[in-house]
Amino acid sequence: MAPVDLAFSVPSSVAEAIGELAAGEDVILMGGGTSVGLLLKNDLIAPSKIVWLTKIPALRRLTADAGGSVLIGATVTLRELAGSEVIRLRFPALAYAASRVGNPRVRAVATVGGALTHSDARQDLPPVLYALGATVLVQGPTGAREIPVARFHTGFMQTVLAEDELVTAVVIPAADGTPRAAYGRFTPGSHDDYPTVNAAASVARDGNGRIVRAALALGGVGSTPLLVPEAAALAGTVPGPSEVAAVAAAAEAAASPFDDQRGSARYKKAMAREWAARVLAACLDEDGPPVPDLVAG
């Protein structure tokens, strides 16, 4: 059981939240509490104080600039993300991934900051944010810093955040050319289970169909999400099936999953190849749906 003298603070500004973090030991941040609540219930953490972030107006922003980039505040919920007009129009693969997290009760309260910092490599959002080249905005007592999302996760439930830092927002840059992104997830379990393996790709092309930027990221194939560098080499090409197959083979080779109840490492490597090929093909299929429904299982 959690200690009965657990303190609870509801700051109204980022500075106040950082002050709370700096003031005591074993102080933890909470967004929607879907992960923190489970950890407390199972006695896996014993904080002295919880700092609840959802009443800080600056963290609730979801804004788009005229140039095409979007800032998503840390306490925007996954339900809000999935339903946002701006996100559905500019980054439909992200809206789709958010709509696939857990169940409606989880999505109603779980936040973007919590979904990033929870740091379980099977989560839905991170591969999409990796593929879109997002940046995590972080603030601490000495100021703000920006971290490319692909450098944010360091292991299971571990990130580059210092103990007195918090995530304030995620920024997704505008894409050059004509962008198209796709997300796919596979689970042999129930529809609302975590994915066994998931994959996201983002491709932007110029007016001649030539790729100006390509990125591919996988989840569930190691202790952190994985950016597959070989996808970037598609830039400058007009790829066909053999180029897609080569990147998918590189994705399988780079994957280092573990055996668990969701499948053997060997099986997950094969799934990494399959889903990498599917999301890349979906990005390259101009006649396909804007939000490809690539879910299976």
Ligand X SMILES: Cc1cc2nc3c(=O)[nH]c(=O)nc-3n(C[C@H](O)[C@H](O)[C@H](O)COP(=O)(O)OP(=O)(O)OC[C@H]3O[C@@H](n4cnc5c(N)ncnc54)[C@H](O)[C@@H]3O)c2cc1C
Q: Show the binding pattern over residues 38-57: x = contacts ligand X (CB under 6 A), - = does not.
A: x--------------x----
Q: Show the binding pattern over residues 183-202: x = contacts ligand X (CB under 6 A), - = does not.
A: -----------x--------
Choose which of 18, 27, 70, 74 interacts with ligand X (CB under 6 A): 74
Q: How many other C-beta atoms can be found within 10 angstroms of the C-beta atom of residue 95? A: 23
Using CB under 6 A as the binding rule, whether residue 29 contacts ligand X is answered as: yes
Given a contact cutoff of 8 angstroms between Cβ atoms, the answer to whether 167 and 138 are in contact is: yes
Using CB under 6 A as the binding rule, whether residue 34 contacts ligand X is answered as: yes
Shortest CB 110 distance to ligand X, Å? 4
Give the rounded distance of the alpha carbon of 234 from its chain centre: 23
Distances in Å between the alpha carbon of 264 and those of 112, 226, 257, 260?
30, 18, 8, 6
Choose which of 30, 201, 280, 283 interacts with ligand X (CB under 6 A): 30
DSSP code string of 102-122 = S-HHHHHH-BHHHHHHT--TT
- Cβ closer to ligand X: 28 or 212? 28
Three-class SS state of 99: helix
Choose which of 27, 76, 114, 247 interacts with ligand X (CB under 6 A): 114
- How many residues belong to the site for ligand X (CB under 6 A)? 28
Q: How many other C-beta atoms can be found within 10 angstroms of the C-beta atom of residue 241? A: 10
DSSP for residue 190: -
Interacting residues with ligand X (CB under 6 A): 28-36, 38, 53, 74, 101-102, 106, 110-111, 113-115, 117-118, 123-124, 161, 166-167, 194
